[in-house]
Amino acid sequence: MRRTDHATLNSDVRIGFVTTTYLPSRNGVATSTALFAQGLRELGHEVDIYAPNHPARPPAEEGVHRLPSTMMGAPADYPVLLWPNPPVVAALPLRGTDVFHTMHPFLAGALARLWGRRFQAPVVFTAHTQYEQYLHYARVMPRRMSRSLTRSHVATFARSVDQVLVPGRAMEETLRGYGYGGPLSRMPNPVNLAAFQAADTPQVRSAVRERYQIAQGAPLVISLGRLAAEKNLGTLLRSFDLARRSRPELRLLMVGDGPVRLALEAHAPGGVVFTGALPYAEVPQLLAAADVFMTASTSEVLPMSMIEALASGTPLVAARSPAAQDLIVGDNGIICAASEAELAAGLLRALDSGQLPRRAQAARDSAQQYDLRVRARAMARMYEELLEWRGEQKSGPTRSG
């Protein structure tokens, strides 16, 4: 039964996620949104997801409400959300929502804020993306002007909501750099540890290597994510090639697809296997088969792929960034300067056979804090505290305001 009263502390909460991207799109925001929804529902909360229509969506999606969108001019797998007209909105189960939670400061955020005001529900904003790193996808005005307008808009939107969340230090520093000086809280992305633990077996590792014709004893490095310019993948491939001069048996599995895939394949060194896009269900097996996860990207906020690698017992080698500094602690990985020589040296050090078992266990241990149940409980507590605070401050200014 739909509830029409607002939740109080320790009661079930009804949440409306308003997002620009959702499954079956393959990206960290879509995945983390789906995982938070799963974890919150398992705790007894009710979750509605408002997302763009997707041409590959399943025929039945409980609790998912598709909004008008278009693929015209959109990257593959990224339908563009359109503003819904009044009849579409009238058909949505918005009434009785306790909290609206958006992951985006643009159109989806505007909808969440509008609906929050209409139904007197607080609005939460999780800032996931360093938008300046992605302006090359929307060249509608000079880059300098785009950067200035983006910074101003994101900061203004953050000031207009009741609670601002960030996955980690990188996004906190980004928001402060944009001029947002209000309160915020860190809420790391979740991972379903059980799925990754189940794949962490010798049989799975052997099957993956056989599938991609990689020798069972060869040291295997994995890179997982969208193949795009902002990921610094050219540096990653050159670093791998440099390390391979010392260890010719090295192999690299490049998992994912994207706009620079063909260019990367054309110039890739020996020992690299490109898998293309794969179902998310296969990710645990691929990560479990690898010895080390490697990234040269410095644009990440708190990437799901790196958390998933840790959950698989796969230590990290990463270019120095706030995200890497959040995730790499103790022996679970190595942080390097974002240069080919430094990354190659870090990779060779991580692959030291005498250290790998210890690093793998450190990776598993450090992933516990990102377990879906842990993160869902933290999110539920945040909602409950926000609603209690909102109940006490109904006539006051917004929490961040």
DSSP 231: G
Indicate whether 155 belongs to any domain.
yes
Question: Is residue 73 pLDDT above 90, yes or no?
Answer: no
Question: Is residue 9 pLDDT above 80, yes or no?
Answer: no
Question: Is residue 248 pLDDT above 70, yes or no?
Answer: yes
Q: Could you tell me if 168 and 215 lie in one domain?
A: no
Domain that holds residue 301: 193-370
Q: Could you tell me if 131 and 243 lie in one domain?
A: no
Indicate whether 6 belongs to any domain.
no
At residue 397 the predicted structure's pLDDT band, cuts being 50, 70 and 90, is low
Q: Which helix (H) or strand (E) holds 188?
A: none
Q: Could you tell me if 53 and 86 lie in one domain?
A: yes
Average the pLDDT over 106-129 and give the result. 96
Question: Is residue 98 pLDDT above 70, yes or no?
Answer: yes
Q: Could you tell me if 185 and 262 lie in one domain?
A: no
Q: Are 328 and 310 in contact (CB under 8 A)?
A: no
* Residue 396 pLDDT: 55
The residue that leads in pLDDT, 130 or 243, is 243
* Residue 10 pLDDT: 54
Q: Name residues whose C-beta falls within 8 Å of residue 290's C-beta, 6 or more positions apart in sequence.
A: 220, 221, 222, 253, 309, 312, 314
Q: Could you tell me if 331 and 385 lie in one domain?
A: no
Q: Could you tell me if 304 and 363 lie in one domain?
A: yes
* C-alpha span between 191 and 205 (Å, rounded): 20
* C-alpha span between 193 and 202 (Å, rounded): 18
Q: Could you tell me if 104 and 49 lie in one domain?
A: yes
Q: Could you tell me if 218 and 349 lie in one domain?
A: yes
Q: Could you tell me if 241 and 95 lie in one domain?
A: no
Indicate whether 5 belongs to any domain.
no
Domain of 129, CATH number, reads 3.40.50.2000
pTM: 0.87
Q: Could you tell me if 164 and 232 lie in one domain?
A: no
Indicate whether 2 belongs to any domain.
no
In tens, the pLDDT along 118-168 reads 999 999 999 988 776 554 444 444 455 578 888 999 999 999 999 999 999
Q: How many domains does the chain have?
A: 2
* Residue 144 pLDDT: 55
Q: Could you tell me if 204 and 183 lie in one domain?
A: no
Whether omega before 279 lies within 30 degrees of 0, making that bond cis, reads no
Q: Could you tell me if 72 and 135 lie in one domain?
A: yes
Indicate whether 224 belongs to any domain.
yes
Indicate whether 216 belongs to any domain.
yes
313: left (phi over 0), alpha (psi -120 to 50) or beta: left
Please state the φ and ψ torsions of residue 239, each to the nearest 5 degrees: -65, -45
Q: Name residues whose C-beta falls within 8 Å of residue 140's C-beta, 6 or more positions apart in sequence.
A: 146
In tens, the pLDDT along 337-390 reads 999 999 999 999 999 989 999 999 999 999 999 999 999 999 999 999 999 998
Indicate whether 3 belongs to any domain.
no
Question: Is residue 11 pLDDT above 80, yes or no?
Answer: no
In tens, the pLDDT along 256-314 reads 999 999 999 999 999 999 999 999 899 999 999 999 999 999 888 888 999 999 999 99
Q: What CA–CA distances, in Å, run from 307 to 127, 337, 364?
A: 18, 20, 10
Rounded to the nearest integer, the mean pLDDT of the chain is 91
Indicate whether 1 belongs to any domain.
no
* Residue 75 pLDDT: 74
Which token pair is 99? 């909290």
